[in-house]
Chain A
Amino acid sequence: MNGPGDAGSRVWADAVLAATLCAIDPAGLGGVALRARAGPVRDRWVETLRAHLPEDAPVRTIPLHIADGRLLGGLDLAATLQAGRPVAERGVLSEVHGGIALLAMAERVSEATAARISSALDRGELHVERDGLALHIPARFGVIAFDEGAEPDERPPSSLIDRLAFHIDLERVSMRDLADAAAVTADLVAARAGLPNVRASDAVFEALTATAMALGIASLRAVHFALRAACVSAALAGRTIVAEEDAVIAGRLVFAARATQLPAPPAGPADEQEAPTPSQADEQDGAEQRDPLDRPLDDLVLEAAKAALPAALLAQLAAGQGQSSQGGSGGRAGALKQSRLRGRPAGTRRGEPRGGARLNVVETLRNAAPWQPLRRREQGRSEAAARIDVRPEDFRVTRFKQRAQTTTIFVVDASGSSALHRLAEAKGAVELLLAQSYVRRDQVALIAFRGERAELLLPPTRSLVRAKRSLAGLPGGGGTPLAAGLDAAAALVDGVRRKGETPSVILLTDGRANIARDGKPGRPQAEADAQSAARRFRVAGVAAIVLDTSPRPQPQAEQLAREMGARYLPLPHADANALSVAVRAVVPRRS
């Protein structure tokens, strides 16, 4: 029963069910986050979805680097020039009203784009204030976010994911699994018509809410979606009251992928809360009067959700490594910021749209506008002529702030020798520097090394909250694999440079390496490895600082700094200001 093929076809069956529910009520369910590479399985899923949508429902693809003008709408240049008055152009989000937007490569979509889509999802309308236009356009649609992330950490912005009811992972589904999936033959038109009349009992409300709590799902949107999914499922079956099986389906499809903790096995979900005595008693009273099916419903939904938990997540949760339940899940603001590389609009200037410069149509027209009567007279044309005379001197191009993004990489020695002395102080120093980085809108990354290896605790991010959290959880103790730490930093430096950003490195260590590259203890080899690793930084010309965390400045750390071509600074005792002044002198300031 539990063969891999079997699991695959079960996932596929759920995926088809999700597509069906979503096709019945795209706007109400928000849509689907679909983790799958482009390929036949994904194509088949999209076909299934399309087949279930009404024929006239629009389906549009939102490309990754869509400009605001196309996403939200703006001024239609051609039509404006033709008509001699501003003509609005509709954006993709308003074109998909009543249908589905396909978001390609959602794991790389910028927070900014995600926020624009989220806002439309929340309100069911598009509010545009652009290019001299103020528009409120109805925009009720569902989003299919194609998540092609390779790493577990590579996910679409959590703000967007939270607003999509279903999260489906098709990575492990093969073409073979698709064969035996039965096509849904139900009457979708009738389901759509029946949906407004579907009601859920109090027991369903409570069961879904309790299940979400038991699974550590913080956002109430999840409960809302589960309820909606249960209603749609009931409508699909031609019911007007949500039945047990609808709630079970909703739990499986909506909650399973969102779980951040496993419920305590023997206790029912209701016992999960801090259960003050009065409410406990209350609940028992209620339970006796209610339908006898009520209590089992919680468990049924919970069981269904648990059964659908992905195996990897299950293992992670069982080991107690689940993400914190308070909103921490999937938050990966930092790595997505790279799409800002095209810069932020910073006003306009006179110039021609050449060499990649973007013509700012509105500003150009604004500049041409006051001259129109004069130019018409000049050319002897009548006042009524509709054509607008735009001349090269009117051209305005958008200026982007093209500063290189700075990423400060903190490499922290959390080994026993450092920890003994001043890990706490080093953490304090890092926090102070983090605060400064964030004032400057830099990105920060955090690498820690101890024991036998180095670990990237925090990929480049701009979120101080996340940085602080990962820093606070940093344990100390063990050997000093300095070479491994430096290698990890060098790899990250390469990555940062590839993105066209400027890296700088701040290394906090006492310089006393005792674990060699191959993970074996031994001071001489470890030190030699560390020196060679350090030299790479000098060759690469990376701006770096070595902060010596030993109680008294040591020659090892100073030697290391020389090899790195870095500035050497003994960590001043609990003197945050001296530290920040010193660091500011090294970390490149943005213009």
Chain B
Amino acid sequence: MTTTSVSRPAPFPFSAIVGQDEMKLALLIAAVDQSVGGVLVFGDRGTGKSTAVRALAALLPPMRAVAGCPYGCEPDRPAGLCEACRGAGKLKSVQVPVPVVDLPLGATEDRVVGALDLERALAHGVKAFEPGLLARAHRGFLYIDEVNLLEDHLVDLLLDVAASGENVVEREGLSVRHPARFVLVGSGNPEEGELRPQLLDRFGLSLEVRTPGDLKVRVEVVRRRDAYDRDPEAFSARFKAEESKVRRRIVAARERLPSVVVSDAALERAADLCMRLGTDGLRGELTLMRAARALAALDGDAAVSDEHLKRVAPSALRHRLRRDPLDDTGSTTRVERALAEMFAA
């Protein structure tokens, strides 16, 4: 594969993002428990949507992967190995950064799913598979900025892979299948078009971000951005301690996660809430529960409480409400209203 790279400055630190707490929390939840599903960030222009996602990448603790495996297989999970690793016998593992892969607009299908390696085929007549972005994103995050502008045929492809956790390539005489489980992170501006409902449903958490309305906060946002633009390295260094604090929080939450207790009462609450809101399918309940559990782990709590449910419910449910043509209320308000009713009862 022909690859070039430019040296890039340190990303804007996650902990230096002013406000936008819901967005930061959702990304942390996804980092603690990937099974929560993807995160969709919709909102105004210039609110730092993509900044936050790129900042998260720098924050994630490294993971163990099979050395030399193009898919970064997890050595301790035999069921999820790719074919090559399964047949390899004893596996050597190395520490690698968690992949956060950008799917740029204008990407072609061959780069997304992977295709015949043109260079080797032309030069040596060898039929070799060149893994695509989906392979690189395995066990990590796949980020799509302006997700609502993604071409339909790529959306179809993503839906298929996201549902099965496996990428099946049948093209140019190649027949390859490899694991591809990733957290889908999308961002966009609703003014530029809607998201297909099928894709919307793939995202575990969905949030709406707005430009902060408070003057002081706004000044601080502009000031930090300016400081970062002037000297990214120095600015990042200023937040180094904060960054490692967040990283430790993620690591601790991951360790705590399996032991967080989800009581029957909490399950009932979640089911009740979903029923009140008339969400489609079970995915809403499942996501709500998992997100609340991850939040409890982040907070260092031993069990999921009503408070956790309340905090994650808007993100977990607002994009799953059925559109009621006769009700113009925003979906966030509807979730909040249902929460208020439930806890009043």
Contacts and interface: CB of A to CB of B under 8 A. Distances in A.
A394 B341 CA distance: 65
A279 interface: yes
Contacts of A162: 45-46
A223 B193 contact: no
A136 B6 contact: yes
B218 interface: yes
Given A132-B115, A372-B125, A428 B325 contact: yes
Contacts of A221: 45-46
Contacts of B122: 80, 84-86, 365, 369, 372, 388
Contact of A220 (B152, B197, B221, B325): B221
A213 B153 contact: no
A119 B105 contact: yes
A344 B215 CA distance: 44
Nearest to A432: B325
A125 B123 CA distance: 30
B32 interface: no
Contacts of B3: 133-135
A218 B211 contact: yes
A369 B118 contact: yes
Given A273-B215, A333-B191, A136 B4 contact: yes
Interface string A349-375: 000000000000011011101101100
A118 B122 CA distance: 35
B8 A125 contact: yes
Contact of B222 (A133, A227, A438, A466): A227
A135 B191 CA distance: 30
Given A137-B4, A366-B118, A435-B323, A463 B216 contact: no
Contacts of A84: 122-123
A205 B215 CA distance: 11
A219 B106 CA distance: 26
User: Size band of the A side of the interface?
Assistant: 35 or more
B320 to A, nearest CB: 15
Contact of B172 (A222, A344, A366): A366
Interface string A212-239: 1100001111111001000000000000
A46 interface: no
B272 interface: no
Contacts, number: 226
Contact of B108 (A122, A129, A220, A438): A129
Interface in A109-150: 111-112, 115-116, 118-119, 122, 125, 127-138
Q: Which of B112, B151, B211 has the most CB of A within 10 A?
A: B211
Contacts of A85: 119, 122-123
Interface in A56-78: 68, 71-72, 75
Contacts of A438: 194
A162 B326 CA distance: 34
Contact of B153 (A125, A159, A346, A466): A346
B90 interface: no
A127 B144 CA distance: 12
Contact of A135 (B4, B50, B194): B4
Nearest to A282: B216
Interface in A524-543: none
Interface stretch (A324-332, A406-414, A499-507, A553-561): A324-332
B109 interface: yes
Interface of A: 68, 71-72, 75, 80, 84-86, 88, 111-112, 115-116, 118-119, 122, 125, 127-138, 157-159, 162, 196, 200, 205-206, 208-210, 212-213, 218-224, 227, 270, 273-274, 279, 326-328, 331, 333, 344-347, 362-363, 365-367, 369-370, 372-373, 388, 401, 424-425, 428-429, 431-432, 435, 438-439, 441, 462-466, 468, 472, 574, 576
Given A134-B2, A345-B153, 5 more contacts: A86-B119, A125-B8, A130-B108, A136-B5, A344-B153
27 contacts: A71-B106, A84-B122, A84-B123, A116-B106, A119-B145, A130-B106, A136-B8, A159-B189, A209-B215, A219-B45, A219-B46, A223-B218, A326-B44, A326-B211, A331-B191, A331-B192, A366-B115, A369-B125, A370-B127, A372-B122, A424-B326, A428-B325, A429-B325, A431-B326, A432-B323, A466-B191, A574-B326
Interface of B: 1-6, 8, 44-47, 50, 102-112, 115-119, 121-123, 125, 127, 130, 132-133, 145-146, 149, 151-153, 172-173, 189-194, 196-197, 210-211, 213-216, 218-219, 221-223, 225-226, 230, 323, 325-326, 328
